[in-house]
Amino acid sequence: MTTAPASTASTQDFNKLLDATAADTEALLDRLLSDKPEQGEILRPKRLIEAMRYSSLNGGKRLRPFLAVASAAMFDVPRQGALMAGAALECIHCYSLIHDDLPSMDNSDLRRGRPTSHKKFDEATAILAGDSLLTLAFDIITRDDVHRDPTVRLLLTRALARAAGIGGMAGGQIMDLAGEGRFGDKEPPDVAKLQQMKTGALLKYGCIAGALLGQASKEQYASLDAYGHAFGEAFQIADDLLDVEGDAAALGKPAGQDAALGKTTFVTQLGLDGAKRRLQDLLKQADAALAPFGAKGDVLRAAARFVAERQN
Amino acid sequence: MTTAPASTASTQDFNKLLDATAADTEALLDRLLSDKPEQGEILRPKRLIEAMRYSSLNGGKRLRPFLAVASAAMFDVPRQGALMAGAALECIHCYSLIHDDLPSMDNSDLRRGRPTSHKKFDEATAILAGDSLLTLAFDIITRDDVHRDPTVRLLLTRALARAAGIGGMAGGQIMDLAGEGRFGDKEPPDVAKLQQMKTGALLKYGCIAGALLGQASKEQYASLDAYGHAFGEAFQIADDLLDVEGDAAALGKPAGQDAALGKTTFVTQLGLDGAKRRLQDLLKQADAALAPFGAKGDVLRAAARFVAERQN
């Protein structure tokens, strides 16, 4: 049980920390997604565990688990608990990608350059793999090695349900579909509110998880909540800017998809310069929110810059 | 905070208890599925809450909540906690019906005589309503009014995840699809194991929930586990028998659907007489499991008979 360093982090140091958390998350998910049933489970059907592993292993930067680990590290809590919370969060993220890719949702054939779940397997399997990853997240977050205090684990569980559910990510997804005119008239959505739900809620949960694991004071909790809020919006603006100005090769997908779909984004709403100014404002807000933590906040400061400046 | 009576129950008394729990569950779900966001939620989008309410209100006998309430009543715990656990369980049950009905799964247009969710709304909304009911279940089960002891709430949460996930209901559904030859060769499934997962796990959870809420001894927990196991299998055999011998009018759906699909059921596996004998054996097992509870077990005894003898 070690705690991650939380001192001044250069970009290189930051990337190292990010990679280390990704590797630990990968190993943990590999273990949690074994084909051996846990107590209370009858068996884990081969096809279903294969589909769950396909969409959750070898995946991405693991930014959400990183936020949980980095925010928890500010409170010197055992790294294992933060990794568990991060793994639960990542299960939710991966479930949402499987379901969002379905033909009736975004109808995507490719994700990170590989066939999406319903293309690799079939629609029924993809739906059940998503359902099962969502369910597994709530199994993981209740376990003893998340935190010694049951009350903390309960708070983490309930906050995760609210970040993922109707008032969070799932609610954001239906607002996004509504904004495309899928249920009748196309009504330009409130982009800030939509992203706060669709992508922001899970990113903020990573930060909040650290505060809960660290049994933070009310003031510290509010600081991480404010940081997570700014981080989530910065993440989405950077995403919207990349879709306009990004390089398809670096992105691993064509740029200009939002415009092609006629989507309302931060860029269409604020203009290119307005979106860039807003992004800089958010970085300042994120920095300011971390002020009470002094040097311990350096990793999260670097995380906000990383997200704002990323090229993919 | 009253506790349900647990003395000798005639069929009439039993039906009254069943109806009372259904009414209380309905009122509770109506409150839990309000359009007002809870703390940590941004807003509850109109279309999504409508779809969640459509598939979870005005629904069925509420057998699963009844099992939670009746088993908890044996331990004289507050009825409110059992109703909350029952509501969480019912959210999982309703989510599973929405997803099972989808075109890529069982492709059903009607459920209890009304259009299924994807027919009433659309596929994307149905998937998200299911996802959100699943997520809401884990929000509900963590709340303070489930049980005063956080450890009990955590045990309830984890057991629910395991009953619903890959090693329980979701796993059973993929095995059912595999048994229909959906993923290649049609292989007759192990019917007992399949039903133990697909329908049995949630029914058993109802019984286990009572034991957890009542902080039962190991022996009492094992008794309710055994009862729940027998109950779940009896429920499925009765279902398979109804599909062969039932009256379409009473069922509210055509009989003979299993045979039309060429499904392996307890009846195809054991024969009509064999299935009936097995059902009687299971009733005896359920009775025997309840022996340590004496007269307090009468309601659950009546529940097993009710399920075995039901006409729809």
Is a pLDDT exceeding 50 seen at residue A5? no
Residue B188: Cβ-neighbour burial (10 angstroms; 0-12, 13-18, 19+): exposed
Mean pLDDT of chain B: 93
B4 inside domain: no
Report the pLDDT value the prediction gives residue B10, as an integer from 0 to 100: 75
Report the pLDDT value the prediction gives residue B310, as an integer from 0 to 100: 84
**B7 CA: distance to closest CA in chain A (Å):** 30
Domain residues for A271? 11-309
List A115's β-bridge partners, or say none.
A110
> Residues A168-194: pLDDT tens digits?
999 999 999 999 899 988 878 899 999
Classify B89 in phi/psi space as left (phi over 0), alpha (psi -120 to 50) or beta.
alpha
Tell which B residues from 86 to 105 touch A, by Cβ distance under 8 Å. Answer: 95, 99, 102, 104-105
- CB contact, 8 Å: A107 with chain B? no
Which residue does chain A place closest to B176, by CA atoms?
A: A45
List B110's β-bridge partners, or say none.
B115
> Residues A111-146: pLDDT tens digits?
989 999 999 999 999 999 999 999 999 999 999 999
A61 inside domain: yes
Report the pLDDT value the prediction gives residue B257, as an integer from 0 to 100: 79
Chain B residues with CB-CB distance to A104 below 8 A: 122-124, 127
Closest residue to B183, CB basis, from A47, A135, A161? A47
Share of chain B above pLDDT 90, in %: 84
Report the pLDDT value the prediction gives residue A253, as an integer from 0 to 100: 67
- CB contact, 8 Å: A171 with chain B? yes
Helices (H), A165-297: 169-179, 191-195, 201-213, 218-245, 248-251, 257-260, 266-290
- Provide φ and ψ at B285, rounded to 5°: -60, -40
> Residues B196-249: pLDDT tens digits?
999 999 999 999 999 999 999 999 999 999 999 999 999 999 999 999 988 766
Lookup: tokens for B143: 């709340």
- Count of structural domains within chain A: 1
The residue among B50, B138, B155, B185 with the most chain A CBs within 10 A of its CB, best to mutate, is B138
Residues 6+ apart with CB under 8 A from B113: B252
Tell which A residues from 250 to 309 touch B, by Cβ distance under 8 Å. Answer: none
**Region B69-83: what's the mean pLDDT?**
97
A2 inside domain: no
- CB contact, 8 Å: B49 with chain A? yes
B93 inside domain: yes
Residue A151: Cβ-neighbour burial (10 angstroms; 0-12, 13-18, 19+): middle
Report the pLDDT value the prediction gives residue A126, as an integer from 0 to 100: 98
> Residues A242-293: pLDDT tens digits?
999 887 666 666 677 787 777 889 999 999 999 999 999 999 999 999 999 9
Residue A112 host element (H or E): none
CATH number at residue A166: 1.10.600.10
Q: Which amino acid is at B96?
A: S
Note whether B139 and B159 are within 8 A (CB).
no
A201 inside domain: yes
Residue A38: Cβ-neighbour burial (10 angstroms; 0-12, 13-18, 19+): middle
Report the pLDDT value the prediction gives residue B2, as an integer from 0 to 100: 42
**B38 CA: distance to closest CA in chain A (Å):** 8
Cβ distance B161 to A142 less than 8 Å, yes or no, reads yes
Cβ distance B99 to A168 less than 8 Å, yes or no, reads no
Which residue does chain B place closest to A137, by CA atoms?
A: B161
Note whether B176 and A128 are within 8 A (CB).
no
Is a pLDDT exceeding 90 seen at residue A55? yes
B24 inside domain: yes
- Angle at CA B235, nearest 5°, toward B53 and B277? 165
> Residues B27-48: pLDDT tens digits?
999 999 999 999 999 999 999 9
Report the pLDDT value the prediction gives residue A2, as an integer from 0 to 100: 43
Tell which A residues from 174 to 193 touch B, by Cβ distance under 8 Å. Answer: 174-175, 177-178, 182-183, 193
**A111 CA: distance to closest CA in chain B (Å):** 19
Note whether B116 and B110 are within 8 A (CB).
yes
Tally of CA atoms within 13 A in the half-sphere of A157 that contains its CB: 36
Report the pLDDT value the prediction gives residue B107, as an integer from 0 to 100: 96
Q: Which amino acid is at B106?
A: D
Residues 6+ apart with CB under 8 A from A16: none
Cβ-count burial B275-297 (b if 16+ within 10 Å, e if not): bbebbeebbebbbebbeebeebb
B2 inside domain: no
Which residue does chain B place closest to A41, by CA atoms?
A: B167
Mean pLDDT of chain A: 93
CA–CA gap between residue B232 and residue B279 (Å, rounded): 11
A6 inside domain: no
Closest residue to B132, CB basis, from A158, A166, A175? A166
> Residues A187-241: pLDDT tens digits?
788 999 999 999 999 999 999 999 999 999 999 999 999 999 999 999 999 999 9
> Residues A82-100: pLDDT tens digits?
999 999 999 999 999 999 9
